[in-house]
């Protein structure tokens, strides 16, 4: 998991559903700013994740779960967002020396960046029992790319990642990620 968003909200985007076909595993629908995904999880559990496509600071509008299709849902997470921080430095020497190179000994070369998601596009893709929600653009200093959420048929897992790249050469980096507005103080009993 790789996540810090600074607000860069404009209006909501319309999800591109051209690479999605409704199935028993995933049901996707957009209503206004909200993109809702219902998924069949382990032991027939029902997972729902709702994305707010108008507000990157509250991108994850809801994550909820129900033990069966006809049961009430338990809210796991509301109005949260992935957050990212990266520290970059420079590698010196050839690729064989990378193990022994320590950019942190050169603090004047280390720069910290916080991630910024501008909700400019959203694409939903389904392939082989896997559904991906791809959101762009993510800027993380010298890195740029997308935030990708992946759901797996028959699983309660939601994988979230920053898929980014840079044109800079010889970059050393360290990243940190978390989910905003998320507390481990409240225990769920689902």
Q: Express each pLDDT in 27-59 by its tens digit.
A: 999 999 999 999 999 998 999 999 999 999 999
Q: Taking 80 as the threshold, does the pLDDT of residue 127 lie above it?
A: yes
Q: Taking 80 as the threshold, does the pLDDT of residue 165 lie above it?
A: yes
Tokens matching residue 74: 């338990």
Q: Summarize the confidence of residues 162-175 as an average pLDDT.
A: 93
CA distance 132 to 126: 6
Q: Is residue 62 helix, strand or coil? A: strand
Q: What is the pLDDT of residue 92?
A: 84
Q: What is the widest separation between alpha-carbon atoms in the chain?
A: 61
Global pTM reads: 0.85
Q: What is the pLDDT of residue 5?
A: 38
Residue 29's closest CA among 49, 43, 8, 9? 49
Name the DSSP letter for residue 105.
G
Q: Distance between alpha carbon 104 and the CA centroid of its chain, in Å? A: 28
Ranges of beta strands (E only) in 32-190 are 34-40, 46-52, 60-66, 74-80, 82-90, 111-114, 116-127, 130-140, 143-152, 158-165, 171-179
Residue 8's closest CA among 97, 121, 107, 103? 121
Domain boundaries, the chain: 16-179
Q: Taking 70 as the threshold, does the pLDDT of residue 183 lie above it?
A: no
């Amino acid at each position: 998991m790789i996540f810090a968003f600074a607000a860069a909200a404009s209006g909501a985007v319309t999800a591109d559903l051209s690479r999605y076909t409704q199935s028993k595993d995933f049901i996707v629908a957009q209503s206004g700013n909200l993109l809702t995904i219902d998924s069949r999880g382990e032991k027939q559990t029902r997972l729902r994740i709702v994305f707010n496509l108008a507000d990157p600071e509250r991108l994850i509008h809801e994550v909820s779960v129900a033990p069966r299709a006809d049961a009430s849902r338990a809210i796991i997470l509301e109005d949260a967002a992935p957050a990212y921080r990266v520290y970059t430095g420079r590698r010196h020497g050839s690729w064989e020396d990378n193990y022994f190179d320590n950019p942190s000994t050169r603090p004047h070369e280390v720069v910290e960046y916080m991630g910024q998601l501008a909700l400019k596009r959203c694409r939903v893709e389904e392939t082989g029992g896997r559904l991906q929600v791809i959101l762009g653009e993510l800027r993380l200093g010298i890195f740029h790319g997308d935030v990708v959420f992946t759901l797996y048929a028959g699983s309660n897992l939601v994988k979230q990642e920053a898929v980014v790249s840079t044109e800079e050469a010889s970059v050393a980096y360290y990243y940190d990620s978390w989910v905003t507005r998320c507390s481990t103080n409240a225990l769920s009993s689902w």
